[in-house]
């Protein structure tokens, strides 16, 4: 008989990367906060930073050294314009890239927005035992990424495997 697993709430930090958003107009960040809290997780912190790789790295570096923060989700800055720099900011901080995340995100997005999904550079990985997910800035992309990928993998009850169950092993030597 298989024993039912109990949900394990995680501490999640949200970063909106934008040169034009503020707390009042940040629909994507607000949506992510709502989704993670409705799922039973805890918001550790939410910030809005300019689309500048050094601002992004400064905040994420602080979060990945704090043991209380287990997951970081960014929204914005994953496109192709000159100011889109979230992947370039985050990639050097990663210990490991979760390549399947970007691939799956674009596959899911293809069914919704068609070939426009090639403009997304969604990214995920681990850094110092923390999971990082970089989503596009649109509210729809945040909802889709959360619903189809992130929430499922951040739920300890997901079988056959999930990211929560490997958290204690991320810093193995």
Q: What is the pLDDT of residues 121-173, one digit of tens each?
A: 999 999 999 999 999 999 999 999 999 999 999 999 999 999 999 999 999 98
Give tens-digit pLDDT for 52-109: 999 999 999 999 999 999 999 999 999 999 999 999 999 999 999 999 999 999 999 9
Question: Which run of H or E residues covers position 54?
Answer: helix 53-65
Dihedral pair phi/psi, residue 60, rounded to 5°: -65, -40
Q: What is the percent of the chain with per-residue pLDDT over 90, rounded to a whole number?
A: 97
Angle at 132 between CA 5 and CA 10, to 5 degrees: 35
């Amino acid at each position: 008989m298989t024993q039912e697993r109990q949900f394990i709430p995680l501490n999640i930090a949200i970063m909106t990367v934008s040169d034009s958003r503020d707390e009042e107009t940040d629909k994507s960040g607000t949506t992510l906060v709502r989704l993670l809290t409705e799922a039973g997780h805890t918001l550790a912190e939410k910030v809005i930073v300019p689309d500048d790789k050094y601002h992004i790295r400064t905040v994420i570096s602080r979060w990945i050294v704090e043991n209380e923060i287990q997951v970081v989700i960014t929204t914005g800055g994953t496109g192709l314009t000159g100011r889109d720099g979230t992947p370039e900011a985050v990639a050097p901080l990663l210990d490991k890239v979760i390549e399947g995340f970007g691939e799956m995100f674009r596959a899911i997005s293809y069914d919704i927005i068609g070939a426009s999904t090639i403009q997304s550079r969604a990214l995920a990985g681990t850094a110092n035992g923390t999971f990082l997910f970089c989503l596009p800035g649109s509210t729809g992309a945040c909802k889709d990424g959360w619903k189809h990928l992130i929430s499922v993998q951040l739920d300890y009850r997901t079988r056959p495997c999930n990211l929560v169950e490997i958290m204690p092993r991320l810093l193995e030597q």
